Amino acid sequence: MWSFWKQKSPATCVASVIAFWLCLFLAAPVTAQASSSTSSPAVSYVNTLANQRADPHIFKHTDGWYYFTATVPAFDRIILRRAQSIQALSDAAETTIWRRKSSGVGSGQVWAPEIHFIDNKWYIYVALGVANEWRIRAFVLEASGANPLTSAWVEKGIIKTNWDTFSLDATTFTVNSTRYLVWAQQDPSRSGENSSLFIAPLQNPWTIRGTAVAISHPDLAWERIGYKVNEGASVIQRNGRIFMTYSASATDHNYCMGLLTASATANLMNPASWTKSRTPIFVSNTNTNQWGPGHNSFTLSEDGKSDLMVYHDRGYKDINGDPLNDPNRRTRVQKVYWKADGAPDFGIPVPDGNTPVRLRSAASSGLYVRYYTGNSVPSGAPALSDTQFRIVNPGLSGNGTISMESTSNPGVYLRRLNGNQVQFEPGRNLNTAASKASASFNRRPGLADGSGVSLEMSDVGGQYLRLQAGGVVTVSAVSSIAEQEQATFHLD
C-alpha cells in the first residue's frame, strides 16, 4: 500500500453463465483436497470481480458467507460486502462501516482494510493517515455481532510497534496455536527504503507481544522500481509450510508479487527461518493484458476444495500522469495450483472473462493438454499457463459447441487439421464455417469415466480429442479402453 492508490477497473460478471457451465461441463468433479493433492476441482468465475476496488480481501466464514473489503478510490471509508458465492460479491450491496474523521488519526488516507474473525469477534486491520501529514499507521476495529455489516464497530486504536514510523498492511495468521501479526513498516535502520515486512506474536488482536523482527527487506532489483517496497503480505499454509506472498515496487505496471517460505515447525521469529524467492512469482503479462498485479489475499472455493487468490491489477499498462492518482485497480480472482513438491504455483494473471481450467488426462494423472507450436511437444515441464484453457461457450461454430482458447496465448484455439493432427491456431485464421467447426467440440460425458469429460469434434462425429503419452494431442475414433482413457479428461 505504499502503493497508495490501489484501485480496480470494471468487469462484466455473468453469474448465470458460470452456474450453467459448472453444471453442464464439470459434471461430478474430482474430490481430491487442495491441501493434500496437486489437483483439485476446477473453478469458474468471471473477471473482473469488482471495479475500482484495490487491495482486496475476501474472507470465507463458517456461516457460509463470503465477506469482502477493499480500498476505495476516495480513500475515505471502509466498505464491506457479503454474499454466499464469490461471484455474487460482484453485485452485492456495499455497506460503509467506518468513515474518515474530520481530524486526528483517521482524517487522512484509509487504505487496505482486511476483515478477520478471531475468538468470536470481527476485526478489521486498516491503515489510517492524518490529514495534511505524512503519518500513516496500522489501526484496528472490533465488532461483536454475527453480521459485521450491521454490527457496531469499536476503535481499538493504532497498533503500537517498536518504532513510530510509516506502517500499514497488517495481516494475521495462526501457527501451532500462536497468532502472529505481519505488517509493512519503514525500517529506521534502513534509510532510503519505504517499507519492509515485520512479524511479531500477538498478545491480543491489536497488541503485539515482544520485539518485532524484519523478515524481508526490498533488497532485490525487482522490489525497488519506483519505490523500495515490501508490503501487502498474505499467508497460505499447506503441506507443512507457510507461504507468505507480498507485493513490491511502485503501483504502476512494475508492481509484482514475491514469496517467502518457512517450515510450520520453524521459529518464525528468526529471519533465517524464511526463504525469499529470488525472482517475482506473479508479474504483469503482455499477452493477457494484465498490469501491476499484487496486494493479494487467499480464500477457498465454495466447495472448500480449491484455493483461490484474490488480487488487484489494471487492464492497461500506460497511465496518464502520476500512477498514484489512477483509480482503476480492480479486484480479480483465480485458482491457486500446487506443484508436486508442495509449493504453490500462481501462474500468470489470467485474461479477462471466465477463469480457465486444465484438462488432466484420465490415462495419466500428471499429464495435461498443453499449448505448443510446431509438430512436436517440447521437452520438460510446461508452464502452468500453457496448460490452462478458457472454455469458450458457445464455441466458434455455435450450435451448442465449445472451443478451447489458450490462456498463455489468448485468441489462439485448439483445432483439428486434416486427418488426426491437431494444432493451435490464431482466431483470425478461423474465418470460415469449416475452420470454425474444426476448432469446436461437443462436450460428452467421459468415455472412460462419467465424472470426466470427453471432447468430440463438432464436424466429424465419433472423432475425439486424445492426449497420448508424451503429451501429443490428436483426434481420432476411440475403441479400446486405453483410447477411451486418453480421450477422457478431468478438469482442474
Q: Annotated active-site positions, please?
A: 55, 231
Query: Are 49 and 331 in contact, with CB atoms under 8 Å apart?
Result: yes
> Using a CB cutoff of 8 Å and minimum separation of 24, what contacts does 269-273 make?
269/199, 269/200, 269/201, 269/210, 269/213, 270/213, 271/213, 271/214, 271/215
Q: Which three cell numbers stand for residue 256?
A: 509484482
Helices (H) and strands (E) in the chain, counts: 3, 34
Question: CA 454 to CA 448: how far, in whole Å?
Answer: 9
Question: CA 15 to CA 145: how far, in whole Å?
Answer: 30
HEC string of 444-484?
EECCCCCCCEEEEECCCCCCEEEECHHHCEEEECCCCHHHH
Q: Tell me which H or E stretch contains 298.
A: strand 291-300
Question: CA 491 to CA 41: how far, in whole Å?
Answer: 6
Say which residues have a Cβ less than 8 Å from residue 294's Cβ, sequence separation at least 6. Answer: 3, 232, 247, 248, 255, 256, 257, 282, 311, 312, 313
Residue that the C-alpha cell 475452420 belongs to: 435
Q: For residue 169, count other CB atoms closer than 10 A to its CB.
A: 29
Closest CA to 403 of 445, 442, 459: 442
Closest CA to 42 of 275, 334, 259, 316: 334
Query: Are 76 and 100 in contact, with CB atoms under 8 Å apart?
Result: yes
Residue that the C-alpha cell 480492480 belongs to: 330
Question: CA 105 to CA 123: how far, in whole Å?
Answer: 18
- In Å, the largest CA–CA distance within the chain is 76
Q: Which three cell numbers stand for residue 362?
A: 484420465
Question: CA 381 to CA 244: how far, in whole Å?
Answer: 25
Query: Are 386 and 323 in contact, with CB atoms under 8 Å apart?
Result: no
Q: Which three cell numbers stand for residue 208?
A: 503485539
Query: Are 245 and 295 in contact, with CB atoms under 8 Å apart?
Result: no
Q: For residue 284, count other CB atoms closer than 10 A to its CB.
A: 22
